[in-house]
Amino acid sequence: ATGLRIAGGEMARTVAELLAFMDEDALDVYQPDVVLSVGLERARTIAGLALQRGRLFTPHTWTNGIGLLANLHVTAGVGGGPFLEVPYDPPGWTPERRDFMLAQPTRVDREGHVVVPDRPGLGIELADDAVRRYAID
């Protein structure tokens, strides 16, 4: 044992794929993406199973601001963590690019924490200018 955690499952498309990893005790950290992978409910199920087995759950979040908040809510709701991926890779992938459709961007505070919105749903308020720009008549 090296002490190095093995993480995976970011692009798993089915719960069966993730369960196969669990059956083989292949991962220390389960990272399905709520948006790109298995959805909110199935991610919550996988998180619960991973945590029951003493494994970590921290989803893959390299998506837009709405996807980041969806993954954040699932993680907070199941007691996952202790960390969360936050897409940031300037100059191409910045908070402004990730969150262009949100009225308020998701911020990481000085301690490295992200506040879970407490408004209804995912706590998202869309930016009016983005809605107008991308609306289809």
Q: Which residues have C-beta within 8 Å of that of residue 114, sequence separation ≥ 6?
A: 72, 84, 86, 106, 107, 108
CA dist., res. 25 & res. 108, Å (int): 32
Q: Which residue segments constitute the domains of the chain, with CATH numbers given?
A: 7-134 (3.20.20.120)
The answer to whether residue 1 scores a pLDDT higher than 70 is: no
pLDDT digits (tens, 9 = 90+) for 7-60: 999 989 899 999 999 999 999 999 999 999 899 999 999 999 999 999 999 999
